[in-house]
């Protein structure tokens, strides 16, 4: 099997993002976006999906957190897409439920190359740490569509927004870890291709 990895660089007037991603190499994630809570969520995603991730961003956080959250998630999504290649042999479909204290989240994924993101985090606070909650939802949607997959991520219950967000990122991670596993009869499609 060839190495499933990607290196992505993105530079705009708003951000400069550098990303290395290795789907099949488990190592400690090194995420430095300038936004502590985003670092925490992307580190959780990499850790629980079991992929190696090095990500750094210099963003215009003096404006707000939007461009940094969006572009970091965009680049991680693009790196996942590139690392998956033609997706031959992947399991393709997977779901995961993750509890975190009183919160519980569910994620269902299809690694088909038709992007569709349905995300409902049920967050009520305006911000968690230094990230607006609307940018957590938008970030997940951006990651999913740039990875060219279909994913539904729902928080089913919870009172603490930190727990709800973290359970959602971990549920997506666990579903991805299962979906991109290579198996002999993987990649089933009536069309003959993903």
Region 6-25: mean pLDDT is 97
pTM of the model: 0.95
- Mean pLDDT over 163-174 rounds to 98
Give 48's contacts (C-beta < 8 A, 6+ positions apart): 98, 169, 170, 173, 174, 177
Q: Phi, psi at residue 43, to the nearest 5°?
A: -65, -40
In whole angstroms, give the CA distance from residue 169 to residue 172: 5
Provide the angle, in degrees to the nearest 10, between the axes of the packed helices 66-84 and 133-146: 20
**Res. 185: pLDDT tops 70:** yes
Between CA 152 and CA 63 the distance in angstroms is 30
Among all chains, which residue has been given the structure tokens 């569709």?
Answer: 116
User: According to the model, what pLDDT value does residue 27 have?
Assistant: 84
Q: With 60 as the cut, is the pLDDT of residue 1 above it?
A: no
What is the band of 2 on the pLDDT scale with cuts at 50, 70, 90? Answer: low
Q: Are strands 5-11 and 52-59 parallel, antiparallel or unpaired?
A: unpaired
Mean pLDDT, rounded, for 34-38: 98
Fold classification of 5-179 is: Ribosomal Protein S5; domain 2 (3.30.230)
pLDDT for position 163:
98
Per-domain residue ranges for the chain? Answer: 5-179
């Amino acid at each position: 099997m060839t190495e499933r990895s990607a290196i992505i660089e993105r530079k705009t007037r708003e951000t400069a993002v550098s990303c290395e991603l290795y789907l099949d190499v488990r190592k400690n994630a090194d995420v430095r976006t300038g936004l502590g809570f985003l670092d925490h969520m992307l580190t959780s995603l990499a850790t629980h999906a079991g992929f190696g991730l090095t990500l750094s961003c210099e963003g215009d956080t003096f404006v707000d957190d939007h461009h940094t959250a969006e572009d970091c998630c965009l680049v991680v999504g693009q790196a996942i897409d590139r690392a998956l290649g033609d997706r031959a042999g992947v399991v393709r479909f997977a779901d995961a439920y993750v509890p975190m204290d009183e919160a519980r989240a569910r994620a269902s994924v299809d690694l088909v190359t038709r992007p569709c993101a349905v995300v409902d985090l049920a967050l009520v606070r305006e911000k968690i740490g230094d990230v607006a909650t609307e940018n957590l939802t938008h970030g997940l949607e951006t990651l999913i569509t740039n990875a060219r997959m279909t994913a539904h991520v729902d928080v089913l219950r919870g009172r603490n927004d930190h727990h709800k967000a973290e359970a959602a990122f971990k549920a997506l991670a666990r579903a991805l870890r299962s979906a991109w596993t290579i198996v002999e009869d993987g990649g089933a499609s009536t069309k003959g291709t993903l």
